[in-house]
Chain A
Amino acid sequence: MSVTEIGTEARRGWMGLLARAPAARLAGVFDPLGATPGFEWLRTPETGGVMVRGRTGGTGAPFNMGEMTVTRCALRLETGEVGHAYVQGRDKAHAERAALVDALMQGPRAPELREAVLAPLAEAEAAARRGRAARAAATKVDFFTMVRGEG
């Protein structure tokens, strides 16, 4: 299966999910899958800085928001699929697992990985977002409930 058949959008989705996931959580769901498939490095894991850019309101002029540390790698499985990973932080094992998942998602084991790895990670991320949103919501002031005190 080629990358174009899978769809760039779907691949972007899981690569982003793997990049944002905490290293320990990815290890927790990926390692129980058993033996890692054989692969060769195309680019051994290396750590560097990238400039994160933003646009005000998503449409304004681009500005540099700040630098972040990123670890990247690329590998090729024995079966021929090529996996790439760019992950937050400097954990090289994290980058390796993310690239393995990316490569395996292009092969016949994709449904198994979607079930065992991507679904729990997406669920955990959604839960974390909900938790943060709930904490933020608790501090929200609703001006309509204020009484003017004219009684």
Chain B
Amino acid sequence: MRDDVLSGGFADTPVEAARAFRAALEAMARPGSIHRVEGARAPAPVSEAAAVLLLTLCDRETPLYLAPGHDVAPVRDWVAFHIGAPLVGASEAMFALGGWQALAPLDAYRIGTPDYPDRAVTLIAELVNLAPEGARLSGPGIRETARLSLPEVAAFQRNHHLFPLGWDAFFTCGDRLAALPRTSVVEAG
């Protein structure tokens, strides 16, 4: 096993994981808000924010899907050492990591059941650009409207129509993250 696979975990796990969890919670509760996180480093092409999210949200009981591009040996080994999450196909995953294009087709993922709408996937989409501009968001947690540079609009509109089912998404770019839950209404900016 190569050495860089073994490094990159939290140095002070309880404190850093709590901070990261708070950031993830805030991002999901206030869709469109952008938060900075730090403290983790995973092999390329995983961004710092995505590595922090994986360390904070995933463990050996959360099946993880690595989309093409992220499904490379160093990343798989890093996940095995630091997280221990089982790597599965898209249809069984509770979390999915990849570029937005690589995560498609989106109807392969679990969207929950009417009895358990929480049994749905959370996508972690790596974006090239993350800024408070572009698509207009409204809904719970948003005062009037917010803007976020989403990679597309149609997929999020379709997902919103599935409510209370549907997936939720985190967006990461470098050390910044934002989130879009299934409750948000998305309109082209």
Q: Interface of A with B (CB < 8 Å)?
A: 40-44, 46, 74, 76, 80, 82
Contacts and interface: CB of A to CB of B under 8 A. Distances in A.
Interface string B11-30: 11100000000000000000
Chain B interface size range: under 10
A5 to B, nearest CB: 15
A41 B11 contact: yes
A46 B9 CA distance: 13
A44 B7 CA distance: 11
Contact of A43 (B3, B9, B12): B9
B11 A76 contact: no
B85 to A, nearest CB: 16
B51 to A, nearest CB: 15
A46 B13 contact: yes
**Overall SS of chain A's interface:** strand
Contacts of B9: 42-43
Contacts, number: 20
A40 B4 CA distance: 13
List 10 tightest A-B contacts by C-beta distance, closest first: A42-B6, A42-B7, A43-B9, A82-B6, A44-B13, A74-B6, A42-B9, A41-B11, A76-B6, A76-B3
A82 B3 contact: yes
Interface string B153-167: 000000000000000
B40 to A, nearest CB: 13
A43 B10 CA distance: 8
Contacts of A80: 3
20 contacts: A40-B7, A41-B11, A42-B6, A42-B7, A42-B9, A42-B81, A43-B9, A43-B81, A43-B82, A44-B11, A44-B12, A44-B13, A46-B13, A74-B6, A76-B3, A76-B6, A76-B7, A80-B3, A82-B3, A82-B6
Interface string B78-118: 00011000000000000000000000000000000000000
B10 to A, nearest CB: 8
Given A43-B9, A44-B11, A44-B12, 11 more contacts: A40-B7, A41-B11, A42-B6, A43-B81, A44-B13, A46-B13, A74-B6, A76-B3, A76-B6, A76-B7, A82-B3
